[in-house]
Amino acid sequence: MRLATSVRLLTVGVLSLAPVALGGAAHAHGDRDRAERMAQTYDAGLAVPFVSSPNVRLAAVRPGSAGVSGCFLHSAPYFVMSGLDDVTVFDVSDPVAPREVGSMPSGQFENEAMNCGERKVSRDRTDRFALIGVDLYQASPDDLEHVNDPVTGDYELVIVDVTDPTSPHVRSRVKATTSTHTVTCIDGTDCRYAYSAGDDSEVPGQGSFSILDLTDLDHPVEVDSDPAAPGTQPFRSDAVGWGGHKWNVDAAGYATHTGAGGSYIYDVRDPLHPVEVASTGAAGDTAREGSVNHFNDFIHHNSFRPNATAFRPDAPPSLANGNILLVTEEDYEDPDCSTAGSFQTWHVKRLDGSDGSIVPLAKVELADLGTYPIPAGAFCSSHWFDYHPSGIVAVGFYGGGTQLIDVTDPTAPVSHGYATWGASEVWDSMWAPVYNRKGVATSQRTNLVYSVDLVRGLDVYVVDVPGDGIGTVPSVQAPMSVAVAPGVLVGASAVLALLLHRRRRHA
């Protein structure tokens, strides 16, 4: 099915207010007119061209939601997807054919990094939940007393219980003193603490973030970094600059904080006392007024450090040595589709807090990949990505589609493949995990990419990855089902993203 007509009408209402709120500022997260044209073409059922490399095959399409982000549950084969008007749960016991099993009407912006967490509360019960980071608004029919202000914005974390995947619902909420643009569990399999994206709203020019205590899932609270001072004090992070973006935790217990100030690695093995151990320094900092840095023209968006447990100081840069930091740089201030936001590799030399501990290796923009003619009138910054153990990264490039990048040589990333549509805006791409017979996600990955698309909903691709020898045949078969214990849109996205990010940068 297509996006509901009522939702389209709601979008018109939101857009009619946009000129008053925005005052003619530049576009962000894509051009409004272009996005609306794509959506209208798709809804009208017109022929939309699909172009892919020979090593990528479309396996499934799940339309019906203006997709923004998603996450796989850790101990049950389900995928939770956030759109601009709903939260949807898919059964992925057969990952080639995800099946919708539950949905919660929920209008939110932006929640562009849906994060899944869980806690084992008894021998027979595990509580599973998804975190919604609220930027400008969130409202759901089962929780009408909580409606965020779409003009001023309310920083808040919403915990959505998905223990019963057929009945997702708001379990609790907690206000935060800093931006909840994204919120991340420090340990997704035992999520007791979560970090917010952060901003410089408390002290202009000084970045900070919130630590949220989820020990009591029904009554979460923000942790006070300085109880002696009045009010709730956030925690300091120089990655923020004028705006923080995402925390990504690696297998060694370190978390990388990305933002306008670059990428900073923290030791979070004690989550209430994070310690900075490495940073991109001036090489990744674009927060200073007037600065020009082509490794961070706007903001470091998200990151991942593969094989982190193998790290040893001052080793040569390689994936095997656990010292490669993969980063996307989002840049929607650049209207040129060929250069708007790059995918990058960095060498983590040391984790001792010393200067020059992380240095740049390489970067590729859409034009560098050379996969197909650059789209006209599109927005094509790199965005969310996910790493496959074969060394292939799946990256959402908005109008540039789903791009697959080979980083086995981190000094020279190259294209491995791609999948694009004529009417599409890919926000998130991720590899489906391999679930074991008990329904627990392992560290292995299938050869299936889930791409979350603001226009199309959810697309599933089969990718010929190096080393498995099976080509574009799915690497997994449908297992037996695993029982789980119960327990506005395309145009509006551009407008509201603009309001949010401009407010942050010029606050």
* pTM of the predicted protein model: 0.88
Who has greater pLDDT, 504 or 201?
Answer: 201
C-alpha to C-alpha distance for 401 and 65, rounded to whole angstroms: 17
36: pLDDT strictly greater than 70:
no
**Residue 28 in this model has a pLDDT that exceeds 50:** no
Across residues 159-167, what is the average pLDDT? 98
CB 481 within 8 A of CB 451: no
Find the helix or strand (DSSP H, E) in which 22 lies.
helix 5-22
Q: Which H, E and C letters describe 122-170, residue by residue?
A: ECCEEEEEEEEEEEEEEECHHHCCCCCCCCCCCCEEEEEECCCCCCCEE
pLDDT at 398 over 60: yes
Out of 1-10, 162-171, 420-429, 477-486, the most confident range is 162-171
Question: Encoding tokens for residue 432?
Answer: 């489906």
Is pLDDT at 482 greater than 60 in this prediction? no
What average pLDDT does this structure show over 221-230? 97
State the pLDDT at residue 20.
31
The per-residue pLDDT for 334 is 81
CATH superfamily, domain 5-505, is YVTN repeat-like/Quinoprotein amine dehydrogenase (2.130.10.10)
Specify the pLDDT at position 201: 81
436-476 per-position pLDDT tens digit: 999 999 999 999 999 999 999 999 999 999 999 999 999 98
Q: Is the pLDDT higher at 287 or at 248?
A: 248
Angle made by CA atoms 177, 127, 121, in degrees to the nearest 5: 105
Q: What percent of the chain has pLDDT over 90?
A: 69
Instruction: Pick the most confident of 82-91, 151-160, 329-338.
Output: 82-91
Does residue 109 or residue 231 have the better pLDDT?
231
Q: What confidence category does residue 152 fall into, taking pLDDT thresholds of 50, 70 and 90?
A: low
Looking up tokens 């984790």 gives 351
285 has a pLDDT exceeding 80: yes
pLDDT in tens, 104-145: 999 888 889 999 999 999 999 999 999 999 887 787 777 756
Share of residues in the chain with pLDDT > 70 (%): 81
Q: What is the mean pLDDT of the chain?
A: 85
Lowest-pLDDT range of 174-188, 354-368, 374-388 = 374-388
CA count, 13 A, side-chain hemisphere, 499: 25
For residue 139, the model assigns a pLDDT of 78
pLDDT class of 499 with cuts at 50, 70, 90? very low
Please, which pLDDT band fits residue 15 given cuts at 50, 70 and 90? very low
Residue 12 has pLDDT above 60, yes or no: no
Given a cut of 60, is residue 9 above it in pLDDT?
no
Query: What is the dihedral sign for C-alpha 298, 265, 187, 303?
Result: positive
For residue 154, what pLDDT is reported? Answer: 73
